[in-house]
Structure 1
């Protein structure tokens, strides 16, 4: 999704839960933490952070799975696809698993987190890498850099 796109839609694997996003991502990322490895059954999870106001579940009722604390991970109750996460205390954004979107090609990870836990053979094209999560005061600069890097040419 670029700045000119008006909306994107997506769904879980079985299609019973559908989502719609009406704003470009604030940031894209790959997380290498062992929790994401286990929940995604892969070397890392891919996500894109969107403003909460631009995100909607348009069909179905996702359920909370994975962690039941600091972050709420939402899944389809039928196929159990991990669809999105709402981090506690950060009500203004939602992290959507980029592969749930109809066209995930444009969601290349800009940052990668928890490289301290990554599998030695796992690589991403991320521009910035962090051994854990970036410090909160770094996100403003990261989102600005991401917006500049992904701006549509004039």
Structure 2
């Protein structure tokens, strides 16, 4: 997923908004909640969580769209691709839609969230499944396991 320098880039469908990520994600996930189903017009959204300091928009200007709650969902203002989310209460990371990476990951998501709302046929092959969002105490063990599994 990353180049020799440990960076990867991606962009929206029309390429007007581009971003760069440094290093690997802290974990990857598929969210099966009804909100993600509706925002993607699909069974789930697929994302990777990167530390905020390792994410940067390098071209264009994303706009806030979707539901205007505490979490901020960013889109391209032209093609309306849903690009990334800054989740409320988790300022330390950004959820980036990994299908927008120039080279999308080949591995399945590590975590499935909101499986209580998943479509019965939607299977990802994720290692961990949560009926809702993982509880706060699950994040450290999940990120440590993800790092071990995806090391080197």
Q: Partners in 1 of 2:14 and 2:3 — Cα distance?
A: 29
Which position in structure 1 is the counterpart of 2:117?
117
* Secondary structure at the counterpart of residue 67 of structure 1: coil
Alignment map for 1:107-146 (pairs within 5 Å): 107-146=107-146
- Residue 149 (1) aligns with residue 149 (2): yes
| Counterpart contact for 1:28–1:107, Cα < 8 Å | no
Which position in structure 1 is the counterpart of 2:81?
81
Runs of 4+ in 1 over 4 A off after TM superposition: 2-5
- Structure 2 gaps of 5+ residues are none
Q: Partners in 2 of 1:5 and 1:85 — Cα distance?
A: 25
Task: Return the offset for 1:5.
Answer: 5.1
When the two chains are superposed, the root-mean-square deviation of aligned CA atoms in Å is 1.4
- Structure 1 gaps of 5+ residues are none
Q: Partners in 2 of 1:36 and 1:130 — Cα distance?
A: 15
TM (normalized to structure 1)? Answer: 0.95
* Secondary structure at the counterpart of residue 145 of structure 1: helix
Q: Classify 1:5/1:120 alpha carbon distance in 2 versus 1 (closer, same or farther; 3 Å).
A: farther
| Counterpart contact for 2:2–2:8, Cα < 8 Å | no
Q: Partners in 1 of 2:2 and 2:16 — Cα distance?
A: 27
Which position in structure 2 is the counterpart of 1:23?
23
TM (normalized to structure 2)? Answer: 0.96
* Secondary structure at the counterpart of residue 105 of structure 1: coil
| Counterpart contact for 1:23–1:51, Cα < 8 Å | no
| Counterpart contact for 1:98–1:107, Cα < 8 Å | no
Q: Partners in 1 of 2:120 and 2:108 — Cα distance?
A: 20
Q: Deviations over 1:26-85 (max 9, x none)?
A: 000000000000000100000000000000000000000112112100000000000000
Task: Return the offset for 1:89.
Answer: 2.1
